[in-house]
């Protein structure tokens, strides 16, 4: 039975995976029981099938085939020593050109944009998505491929992708049509090409290494046989980014006159492996065995030769119908058929052709065959022969397969292999449905009309969560007098928790993610853009955990504004999928009334309850805590399960307890913080940026996201270059140097060191009233503006040092006055912002909170 299965699989065409498995089985059988299975392999024709497999596979081109002549001609040209604007270059299948301020490298699989002034970050497009790569190896950005309504952030990402393509096309248009493409680094060696802060080199065969002069140890590696790239972070960890789809015609065209060598495909590599293994097995085990056929095969060959002679003799002489040689051959055949003769041996011996000639020429052959069978005592010889002939027919029968369309066609049955794309448009005059005109929709081809109708109904018809908050069933229930609703934990992610109750509108509707529809507000230390996943994914109840985590930040956190007052008694977490060892180990579960001052409800230290992706755990909140809270926060305090990184991974949250009331001002704290942050950014853009000159002293600012690059504890640095495209270079007192955003992406990573001292000076000013919170942070309550004379003396030194251009006492006095005025206004705004985000929220936390609320004004500021 096993040998029959092997023979059947070997007969299948275009089944390289099956062939490879079967060949491995044959190898194992030959190693362990060669004498037993050689006879069976010979009987079923496995010898010839393996030999045929090797010979057929040999016609497949080798994975490393020779290049076409025109490509050899191109590669024979001398390598270019530098990359200049307006000229075409290539490395293997990657095209290269230089724009005004960027270097572009692209193929049909991926496209990279390397900014000349970058400190190691770069943008890239993979699978149609634009992302930005930073030194951690976690890309940020990407388009929203879901069927939900696109938010302003996904629209911005699409605009950025369009801007990326526009800049690339502008750089390509500088190259003359039909211009010759120059190869670079076609041979390994110490040669390197420098473009801006980037260095290109090839130290290994078929690999191109891209380094940044300020990127420490990080590197981007392009390989000839990889449809994508490999990124090696500063920690030495490698992240592979492989494309699943082609980028399209705008990238696949490349340079005219240069035809890229086809990348080594998986199918070709598999065919080559099958051929090699089949050849090895045949040469090692089957070649010698095939030279010595089985005895029954030799007898069958002699019988076939005897039948052929009898037929030939009868054709020349028709005197007798009962040739003794024919009778002897039929008798011998009856004896042989009673032995173990396979259909393959019957077919390969030529017996079928001989019997066909015999029955066509002899009128009484059938009677003679039956008579000779009875003479030798084999009454079933004819039945056995018929069974053998049917088996031969089944083994060799190949029915034709008619192909009505070519592969890859965009019509006919081929359309069932692709997703269907729709663009929604509301019918003129329709007013009861939500206007989704212009929105794109993707659908699987085998989805039913009923499924599409139900999905569209949720998109365009107003649901319960589309109405005013006061109409929600759970809000009305909590506004009843003296109401107390208890939620008790039975098992992880049951239907007894508060999150499920809110998402199902007090269990009156099908559950929806409450964060997705604004029923609760989720914020994070990364703001609105997580490296993977969306903010609402931390409340997911999908069967499979989603990939949702923050950046590698030791201060990472998620917080939720529940919109209700609850005395918590238990909470549940579910670990996300993605990084294999990123489960929480040390964190704080905190609560707050106002989202500013936090109390710790549970402290976790090296808690190993969460492990595998999707694993869940619950923790009771013990103690006589009768204080109700509205906000909850997961604050990470140590490394995750890897022991090396601080990715905060969550894909499920539930909380239980007693709910006492409901809030109408959902998200109020975040909105107030947003208004303060917008004010700070306007001041930075209009006033402080002008003072960011060479020699000015700076510290980390409101949008800081670069961990401990300014030292530990955070220190001061000195600006070393002029502001360029919203970026500025700073050398820190501890010795590090890097570029930071001061207007780029609408963010401000730095502020003047004198501004950092302003709150402290303000708190000790005799003219201002102040108070101190529990953490000892001085909060100003004064609304008056100090006089210029009070501030002028303390700011004189800073103004001179920051400008380094004072030439007269008049100029110096004017600059001092301007600096003092800016200082005063900025100090007031930052003091008020501090009042909103005091407690355990740092200034950078304020920036990330407000990024979660997309408003038109905030979008314009970005």
- Predicted local confidence at residue 651, as pLDDT: 93
The 3-state DSSP composition of the chain as helix, strand, coil percent (nearest 5) reads: 35, 20, 45
Q: What is the DSSP string of 626-682?
A: ---EEEEEEEE-S--TTSS----B-S-EEEEEEEEEE-SSTTHHHHHHHHHHHHHHH
C-alpha count within 13 angstroms, C-beta hemisphere, residue 446: 4
- Computed from CA positions of residues 443, 445, 451, 457, in that sequence, does the dihedral angle turn out positive or negative? positive
For residues 809 and 796, is the Cβ–Cβ distance under 8 A?
Answer: no
Q: What is the pLDDT of residue 10?
A: 75
User: Is 672-861 in the same CATH topology as 469-665?
Assistant: no
- C-alpha distance from residue 491 to each of 496, 618, 656 (Å): 9, 8, 11
The whole-number pLDDT of residue 745 equals 77
What is the pLDDT at residue 511?
Answer: 94
Q: What is the DSSP letter of 613?
A: T
| Domain residue ranges in the chain | 1-64+264-292, 75-252, 295-395, 412-462, 469-665, 672-861
> Residue 636 in contact with residue 648, Cβ under 8 Å?
yes
Nearest to 506 by CA among 534, 492, 487: 487
Token representation of residue 243: 């494309």
Tell me the pTM: 0.46
Place of tokens 């590197």: 219
Cα 296 to its chain centre, rounded Å, is: 60
Domain 672-861 has CATH 2.30.30.40: yes
Question: Distance between CA atoms of 64 and 480, rounded to whole angstroms?
Answer: 76
Dihedral of alpha carbons 32, 33, 38, 44, sign: negative
pLDDT at position 729 is 92
Of 157, 134, 133, residue with least CA distance to 145: 157
CATH H superfamily, domain 469-665 = Galactose-binding domain-like (2.60.120.260)
pLDDT value for 83: 85
Residue 473 DSSP code: H
pLDDT at 783: 33
* Residue 617 DSSP SS3: strand
- Measure the CA–CA gap between 673 and 119, rounded to whole angstroms: 31
Q: Which SS3 state, helix, strand or coil, does residue 162 take?
A: helix
pLDDT < 50 positions in the chain: 57-75, 142-156, 257-264, 760, 762-815, 817-818, 821, 825, 828-862
Cα Dmax for the chain: 141
HEC profile of 210-252 = EEECCCCCCEEEEECCCCEEEEECCCCCEEEEECCCCCCHHHH
């Amino acid at each position: 039975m096993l040998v029959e299965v092997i023979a059947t699989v070997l007969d299948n065409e275009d089944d390289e995976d099956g062939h490879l498995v079967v060949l491995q089985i044959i190898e194992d059988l030959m190693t362990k029981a060669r004498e037993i299975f050689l006879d069976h392999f010979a009987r079923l024709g496995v010898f010839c099938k393996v030999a045929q497999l090797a010979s057929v596979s040999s016609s497949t081109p080798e994975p490393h085939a020779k290049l076409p002549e025109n490509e050899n001609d191109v590669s024979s040209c001398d390598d270019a020593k530098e990359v200049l604007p307006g000229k075409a270059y290539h490395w293997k299948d990657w095209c290269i050109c230089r724009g005004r301020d960027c270097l572009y490298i692209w193929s049909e699989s991926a496209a990279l944009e390397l900014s000349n002034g970058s400190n190691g970050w770069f943008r890239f497009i993979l699978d149609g998505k634009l992302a930005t790569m930073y030194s951690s190896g976690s890309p940020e950005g990407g388009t929203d491929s879901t069927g939900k309504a696109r938010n302003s952030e996904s629209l911005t990402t699409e605009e950025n992708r369009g801007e990326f393509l526009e800049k690339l096309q502008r750089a390509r248009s500088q190259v003359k049509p039909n211009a010759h493409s120059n190869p670079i680094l076609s041979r390994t060696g110490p040669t390197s090409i420098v473009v801006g802060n980037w260095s290109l080199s090839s130290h290994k065969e078929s690999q191109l290494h891209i380094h940044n002069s300020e990127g420490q140890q990080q590197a981007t590696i392009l390989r000839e046989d990889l449809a994508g790239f490999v990124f090696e972070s500063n920690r030495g960890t490698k992240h592979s980014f492989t494309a699943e789809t082609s980028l399209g015609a705008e990238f696949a065209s490349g340079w005219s006159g240069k035809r890229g060598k086809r990348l080594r495909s998986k199918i070709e590599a598999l065919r080559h492996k099958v051929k090699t293994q089949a050849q090895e097995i045949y040469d090692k085990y089957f070649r010698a065995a095939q030279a010595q056929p089985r005895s029954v095969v030799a007898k069958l060959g002699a019988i076939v030769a005897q039948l052929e002679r009898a037929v030939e003799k009868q054709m020349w002489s028709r005197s007798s119908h009962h040739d003794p040689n024919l009778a002897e051959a039929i008798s011998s055949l009856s004896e042989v058929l009673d032995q173990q003769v396979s259909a393959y041996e019957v077919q390969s011996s030529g017996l079928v052709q001989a019997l066909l000639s015999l029955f066509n020429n002899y009128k009484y052959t059938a009677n003679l065959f039956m008579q000779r069978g009875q003479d030798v005592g084999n009454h079933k010889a004819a039945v056995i022969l018929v069974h053998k002939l049917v088996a031969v027919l089944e083994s060799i029968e190949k029915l034709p397969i008619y192909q009505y369309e070519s592969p890859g066609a965009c019509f006919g049955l081929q359309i069932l292999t692709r997703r269907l794309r729709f663009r929604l448009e509301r019918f003129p005059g329709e007013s009861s449905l939500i206007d989704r005109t212009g929105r794109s929709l993707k659908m699987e081809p085998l989805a039913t009309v009923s499924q599409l109708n139900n999905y569209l109904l949720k998109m365009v018809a107003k649901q319960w969560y589309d109405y005013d908050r006061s109409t929600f069933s759970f809000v009305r229930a909590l506004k009843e007098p003296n109401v107390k609703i208890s939620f008790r934990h039975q098992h992880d992610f049951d239907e007894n928790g508060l999150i499920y109750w809110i998402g199902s509108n007090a269990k009156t509707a099908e559950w929806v993610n409450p964060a997705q529809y604004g029923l609760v507000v989720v914020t994070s230390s990364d703001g609105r853009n997580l490296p993977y996943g969306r903010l609402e994914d931390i409340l997911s109840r999908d069967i499979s955990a989603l990939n949702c985590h923050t950046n590698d930040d030791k201060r990472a956190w998620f917080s939720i504004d529940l919109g209700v007052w609850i005395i918590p008694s238990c909470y549940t977490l579910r670990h996300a999928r993605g990084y294999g060892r990123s489960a929480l180990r040390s964190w704080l579960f905190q609560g707050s009334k106002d989202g500013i001052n936090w109390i710790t409800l549970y402290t976790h230290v090296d808690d190993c309850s969460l492990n595998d992706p999707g694993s869940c755990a619950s923790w009771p909140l013990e103690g006589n805590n009768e204080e109700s809270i509205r906000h909850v926060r997961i604050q990470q305090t140590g490394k995750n399960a890897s022991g090396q990184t601080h990715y905060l991974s969550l894909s499920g949250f539930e909380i239980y307890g007693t709910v006492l009331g409901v809030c109408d001002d959902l998200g109020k704290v975040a909105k107030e913080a947003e208004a303060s942050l917008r004010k700070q950014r306007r001041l930075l853009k209009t006033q402080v940026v002008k003072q960011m000159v060479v020699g000015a002293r700076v510290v980390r600012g409101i949008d800081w996201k670069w961990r401990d690059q300014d030292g530990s504890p955070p220190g001061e640095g000195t600006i070393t270059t002029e502001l360029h495209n919203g970026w500025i270079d700073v050398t820190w007192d501890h010795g590090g140097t890097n570029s930071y955003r001061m207007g780029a992406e609408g963010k401000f990573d730095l502020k003047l060191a004198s501004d950092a001292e302003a709150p402290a000076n303000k708190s000790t000013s005799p003219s201002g009233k102040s108070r101190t919170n529990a953490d000892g942070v001085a909060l100003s309550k004064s609304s008056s503006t100090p006089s210029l004379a009070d501030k002028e003396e303390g700011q004189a030194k800073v103004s001179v040092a920051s400008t380094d251009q004072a030439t007269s006492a008049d100029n110096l006095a004017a600059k001092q006055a301007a600096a003092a005025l800016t200082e005063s206004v900025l100090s007031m705004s930052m003091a008020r912002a501090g009042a909103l985000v005091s407690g355990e929220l740092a200034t950078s936390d304020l920036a990330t909170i407000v990024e979660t609320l997309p408003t038109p004004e905030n979008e314009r500021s970005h």
